[in-house]
Amino acid sequence: MLEQITPILTFLLIAGCLFALITYGCFFGAMYMKIPTRKLRKIMEIGDPTADKTVMDLGAGYGTIAFEAAQHGATVIAVEIDPFKVLAMKLLLKYNNKATQLATPQRLFLKSMNIHVLKANLLKVDYSTADLIYCYLSPPLMQKIGAKATLEMKNGSKIISVEHKIRGWTPTFLDDKEKIYEYTIGKSNP
């Protein structure tokens, strides 16, 4: 009898852990949304995350935008509150940077990335060091980020939002088809 119950309990334990891992983000007000490749390319083109820029990825998830911006040379601060996603990003970063150190000059296929992963509430971090903020967040969060950015970011700094506008702000660039909005502090905000 015990031999029949053990596989069922094992299955339920594994299923419960997977369910918790997948839905954990819901308890913090956001669910992970994978960004389509065409949108990722477009926001990199718009934001132009070069080596002289500090990029902040708010609600970074598994770091898709953060890793792409770092590949373009930018210093990236990836902000995520979900500890599972933070751990995944740190492991990916560690693996990537270790592989870069082991690569020979003939097989240099990865670039060491300058990404700082923060487990933090995106409304409690300081935006003042960011030249560019990327976010793929809900409309209520976008309003709060807009208000915080107005107070903390320097004029000329940019916010690129996917899917949701900042109400009351005028985009300096918009792609209605892809729903990508760029805002410039000092020009876009009231």
Mean pLDDT per segment of 10 residues, for the chain of length 190 residues? 65 67 55 80 93 95 91 94 90 71 45 86 96 93 96 97 94 93 93
Q: Which is nearest to 102 in space by CA: 115, 112, 116?
A: 112
| DSSP state for residue 116 in the 8-state scheme | E
Q: Decide if domain 32-184 falls under CATH 3.40.50.150.
A: yes
Q: Give the pLDDT of residue 190.
A: 76
What does the pLDDT look like over 132-145, one tens digit per residue? 999 999 899 999 99
Name residues whose C-beta falls within 8 Å of residue 38's C-beta, 6 or more positions apart in sequence: 178
The domains of the chain are located at 1-29, 32-184
Q: Give the pLDDT of residue 139.
A: 92
Q: Give the pLDDT of residue 36.
A: 84
The three-point CA angle 46-171-80 to 5° equals 65
pTM score: 0.79
- Which SS3 state, helix, strand or coil, does residue 58 take? strand
